[in-house]
Chains A and B, each alone.
Chain A
Amino acid sequence: MATSKPPRTANRWQVARLVERRVETRTAQTLVLEVPDWPGHLPGQHVDLRLTAPDGYQAARSYSIAGPVVDGPGGPRVEVTVQRVHDGEVSPYLIDVFGDGDPLEVRGPLGGWFIWRPEETAPVQLVAGGSGIVPLMAMIRARRAAGSKVPFRLIYSVRTPSDVIYADELRRRVRDDFGLDIAYVYTREAPEGWRGEPHRIGLADVNTHGWPPDLQPLTYVCGPTAFVETVADLLVGLGHPSRQVKTERFGPTG
């Protein structure tokens, strides 16, 4: 190559293309993006995606990376899972209009706080609200990929059983990924034969399905702002030091 590549910094926007799309639920899809100059990332990190309209108007949003980078024939592939936000500006476009081979701009990987490193040895508890599962799934996938034996517990709050993102894969991983436990909380409609009533996540859920503070777990909570607030308060109330409870909120824009 005659031209030297610019330095691989996370602050540069680069053009990526959609190479694959997977429908996860009625409202969530995974977009597989081919990003030619991707420096690699850690589970929990995110990317900014930027769209430019023909009139020059630009809109950028942050999306969590859903799993380890995959080598494709045209370069590294990065997966993001997009939840449709009603009346959103970017997510409906990405889900309904954005097509195979279409370009968009990517900046990342971003975020050095809400990350899990596979060399960590402390037990991990993950608490997801809705599409807050995405960066936590990246951690679950990275754990298996790295052969980590660290025990993981996931508490996943969803409205109804059909809102579970990665449902089949989670079922499979509970069976195959030794040391991974998953508990679901249904807020509107529980599956047939479920014991208990649909409810919002509460102390009993966190206490029963999380790790006790004595084990000094690393905790990652991701979901809508109010959900994260509730869960973080419960965990700190149970005695988890607040610096060990890492949170990532997402808001109403999309």
Chain B
Amino acid sequence: MTEMSYLDGNMLDGPMRELFTVDLSSAMGRCENCGMTGSMASLHVYSNAPGLVARCPSCEQVMLRLVRGPDRAWLDMRGTTFLQVPMPMEQPFPGPL
């Protein structure tokens, strides 16, 4: 193979659901490098690595790395400035706990 092929961020949902209770593939994230904001589902995911590497579709900056070991997981998101996660309309104003 001359070029490494990638998948898209849709496939992150299963692996990320092991860590989070919400679907992160429909979350919006901003790339720390180029500032583009888009859905996590649109990231380019390279799975032919010891873990999953997700890159910005615009500038190819690594936005997320996820490595799963038998008894632990490593999540590196230093390439992502923020994640905006859709939430159910349960509590319009966050109140004190």
Contact = CB atoms under 8 A, between A and B. Distances in A.
Given A110-B14, A110-B17, A250 B41 contact: no
A107 B14 contact: yes
Interface string B1-25: 1000111111101100110010101
A253 B26 CA distance: 24
Contact of A225 (B7, B17, B21, B23): B7
A114 B13 CA distance: 11
Top 4 nearest A-B pairs (CB, nearest first) are A113-B41, A112-B26, A112-B23, A11-B17
Nearest to A224: B5
B25 A11 contact: no
A163 interface: no
A111 B10 contact: yes
B25 A111 contact: yes
Nearest to A12: B17
Interface of B: 1, 5-11, 13-14, 17-18, 21, 23, 25-26, 39-42, 47-48, 86
B23 to A, nearest CB: 4
A196 interface: no
Contact of A10 (B9, B10, B17): B17
Interface string A232-254: 00000000000000111111110
A114 B17 contact: no
A113 B39 contact: yes
Contacts of B86: 112
Contacts of A252: 1, 5
Contacts of A225: 5-7
Interface in A94-132: 107-108, 110-114
Contacts of B9: 113
A247 B9 CA distance: 10
B5 A111 contact: no
Contacts of A248: 8, 10
Given A113-B39, A247-B42, A107 B17 contact: yes
A249 B26 contact: no
A107 B9 CA distance: 17
B23 A250 contact: no
